[in-house]
Amino acid sequence: MSHMSHMLQQPSTPSSVASTSSRTMSLMEKQKYIEDYDFPYCDESSKYEKVAKIGQGTFGEVFKAREKKSNKKFVAMKKVLMDNEKEGFPITALREIRILQLLKHENVVNLIEICRTKATATNGYRSTFYLVFDFCEHDLAGLLSNMNVKFSLGEIKKVMQQLLNGLYYIHSNKILHRDMKAANVLITKHGILKLADFGLARAFSIPKNDSKNRYTNRVVTLWYRPPELLLGDRNYGPPVDMWGAGCIMAEMWTRSPIMQGNTEQQQLTFISQLCGSFTPDVWPGVEELELYKSIELPKNQKRRVKERLRPYVKDPTGCDLLDKLLTLDPKKRIDADTALNHDFFWTDPMPSDLSKMLSQHLQSMFEYLAQPRRSNQMRNYHQQLTTMNQKPQDNSMIDRVW
């Protein structure tokens, strides 16, 4: 227990000076000391009882658990992976905690507390940490992969309205989510949507005239990653989340992710085929992005967002909002506030409550639990989409992709 000897007494110090804590303990005493140490503000995780594993987050497993005291209250416990122990508490986990403590909103998942396991001989006197959240019954990816779950237009509007409300709130608090995808959108059995998994989130600032932010562009699951990130932009902002919102919105009708690239190159190709070629005309400044010149991009592609999504979406205002969310130029992409004022949310059928529809489904639906079925289905959809929608004008390119 070298670390404890340090904590209680600095070995490099001659015992005659300064150190006020120079009492020595035997190994046994130290172990007992660690085991019995009381942290008044950080409860033990044993106050909850694990029920099932429900997912795999960016930095660890997620469990459903029951609070022992009440025996009725359910929580989700997200384990903090302490992979790189030598660097201490992971900075990503620390960021997630600080961000979640800051964000309190109906459409953002609620962090109840941080718990720890007792340090004992079995875990080498090192605690495991858990983030404890209010439990949500479903995630959107899980719901969409279950064909028995049917969303009416009003219900789709309610989902999107809540999603945009959540994004509006986090963006006005200067937070970027950076991992928007259907699996990170939770829905309670009462139909309340919660943005979750802030493991990649960070605070952002609006850079002054002459400076630029240098954030990592290795964020967002590939299928939901916006074009500016794929082209290497490091000075990005809230529009990265709005692109993801667009992908999720389309998914409400298509029932699986609309652009499922296997590589960044392929993802960019899919985006061009849907949203048109990347040119300085439609996107001034694109030529300055790091990868614009080094990556081969499809040329002369027309923008076909409405055309290709109309067969699924049908509702014209819905198509229009999708078109505005899936805008290539991040500066022109619609923001959460403007999107909430879009006609889509203010024409009949108006957004309608989800709880009634969800009450027919008594089992939790999570992507994690639905995985085998879902990935199959995605593959089918994938092929179908490519055969259906790609009029190969440029055969050589299609060959390379497939």
Annotated binding-site residue numbers: 78
> In sequence order, which residues have a C-beta less than 8 Å from that of residue 96 and are 6 or more positions away?
59, 131, 198, 199, 201
Instruction: Please report whether residue 340 would count as binding other proteins according to CB under 8 A.
Output: no
Instruction: Please report whether residue 5 would count as binding other proteins according to CB under 8 A.
Output: yes
Q: How buried is 268 (Cβ within 10 angstroms: 0-12 exposed, 13-18 middle, 19+ buried)?
A: buried
372-398: string of b/e by CB count within 10 Å (b at 16+)? eebeeeeeebeeebbeeeeeeeeeebb
The one among 25, 51, 81, 102 contacting other proteins by CB under 8 A: 102
Binding map of other proteins across residues 109-138, x = CB under 8 A, - = no contact: -----x-x----------x-----------
Instruction: Please report whether residue 205 would count as binding other proteins according to CB under 8 A.
Output: no
308, 335 Cβ separation under 8 angstroms = no
With contacts defined by CB under 8 A, name the span among 16-24, 223-231, 237-245, 275-283 that binds other proteins.
Answer: 16-24
Least distance in angstroms from the C-beta of 40 to other proteins: 8
With contacts defined by CB under 8 A, name the span among 1-9, 24-32, 134-142, 340-348 that binds other proteins.
Answer: 1-9
State the CB neighbour count (10 A cutoff) for residue 129. 20
- In angstroms, the CA 160 to CA 351 distance is 9
The one among 50, 68, 98, 293 contacting other proteins by CB under 8 A: 98
**Between 112 and 282, whose beta carbon lies closer to other proteins?**
112
Query: Among residue numbers 74 through 93, which ones bind other proteins (CB under 8 A)?
Result: 85-89, 91
Least distance in angstroms from the C-beta of 90 to other proteins: 9
229, 240 Cβ separation under 8 angstroms = yes
Binding residues for ATP: 78
Question: Across 232-381, where does the E strand assignment appear?
Answer: none
Query: Among residue numbers 22 through 51, which ones bind other proteins (CB under 8 A)?
Result: 39, 41-42
Instruction: Please report whether residue 219 would count as binding other proteins according to CB under 8 A.
Output: no
Instruction: Please report whether residue 12 would count as binding other proteins according to CB under 8 A.
Output: yes
Of 104, 110, 124, 137, nearest in space to 31 by CA: 124
- In angstroms, the CA 287 to CA 221 distance is 24
Told to judge if 179 belongs to the known catalytic residues of this protein, a careful annotator would answer yes
Q: What is the amino acid identity at position 334?
A: I
- In angstroms, the CA 83 to CA 402 distance is 37
Can you read off the two tokens belonging to residue 42? 């950080």
**Of 38, 134, 179, 233, which is the active-site residue?**
179
Which residues belong to the active site? Answer: 179
Interacting residue ranges for other proteins, rule: CB under 8 A: 2-13, 17-21, 39, 41-42, 85-89, 91, 94-95, 97-98, 101-102, 114, 116, 127, 202-203
